[in-house]
Structure 1
Amino acid sequence: MSDQQHLITSARDLPGFHNLLGYHHVSWVEDETVIELEIRPEHLNLAGVIHGGVLSALMDIVMADAGTYCPYPGRRRKALTLTMTTTFTGQCSGGVIRATGRKRAGGARIFNSSGEIHDDKGNLLAMGEGTFRIRSGSEGPEGVPI
């Protein structure tokens, strides 16, 4: 198994809201994370398109993950969201969406990331930026147990 393979997780392996969303990691490397979500009926709003809250949550997750890469199986680094902006640029009702987050800058505890979410046709659904703080205990690459 490659180093990358043991890092790719399903939200089913994570507690709480992550599990509820149902996304999975496609790739996770230093400074960049990609996750995908197969849209289900519970992800849709009353108009029958993906809910902005789902897009915002995925944006938050992927941008935080971009700055908290952890190369150790069974462990994670954690961050708190300090600020986040999301701009919605499109909509879709089904298929698989892909969120990509990239760490852009940062210091020992605070970092900035940007993100984009595309549908399976490549259309941009949302873009965002955020500032995050590494949680105590997660400063080192070994992180904390999941």
Structure 2
Amino acid sequence: MTQPFVDSLGVHGTTAEDGTARLHLDATEEHLNAAGTLHGGVLATLVDTAMAAAVRSSTGEDDVPATSQLTVTYLHAGAPGHLAVTGRVVTQGEHLTVCEADVEQDGRTLVHAVATFAVLHR
């Protein structure tokens, strides 16, 4: 599935299987905020994208995950460099799915997120 906005950030290496997804970003100066650290919106996009991929890997082909709630906890400031993101399904119901995700850089967790997705049946 192509995702122009996510692709424009430079996300690569996305894998998803059995309710778990991983993706990567090699953050550059373009991903920084005015304070010189990774922009919170970039980090929020990464966890949202990873969790949605995790949901898609555990539902039917015609099901579409739609974020209905997203809580992002920023634990540490990030810098340019490699980011690894893992999203996983925690609890899956008939219409709602709860996920968690983490962003790691150099062995340190920068972000922990929790989200609820509504699963839309096409």
Name the one with the larger strand percent: 2
Q: Which runs of 5+ in 2 are unaligned?
A: none
User: Normalised by the size of structure 1, how large is the TM-score?
Assistant: 0.75
Structure 1: how far apart are the matches of 2:26 and 2:63? 25
Q: What is aligned with 2:89?
A: 103
Deviation at 1:33, TM superposition (A): 0.3
Please give the residue correspondences for 1:1-146 in structure 2 after superposition, counting only pairs within 5 Å: 14-69=2-57, 77-119=63-105, 121-137=106-122
Relative contact order higher in (CA < 8 Å, ≥ 6 apart): 2
Report the number of matched residues.
122
Kept in 2, the 8 Å contact 1:34–1:98? The answer is yes
- Gaps spanning 5+ residues in structure 1: where? 1-12, 138-146
Give yes or no for contact 1:69–1:77 (8 Å, CA) kept in 2: no
Shift of 1:38: 0.5
Report the alpha carbon displacement of residue 53 of structure 1 after superposing the two structures with TM.
Answer: 0.6
Compute the displacement of 1:26 (Å): 4.3
- Matching residue's letter, 1:59: V
Shift of 1:77: 5.0
Q: TM-score, normalised by structure 2?
A: 0.89
> Shift of the alpha carbon at 1:42?
1.4
Summarize deviations over 1:38-79 as a string: whole Å, max 9, x none: 002211111111101100111111111111117xxxx78531
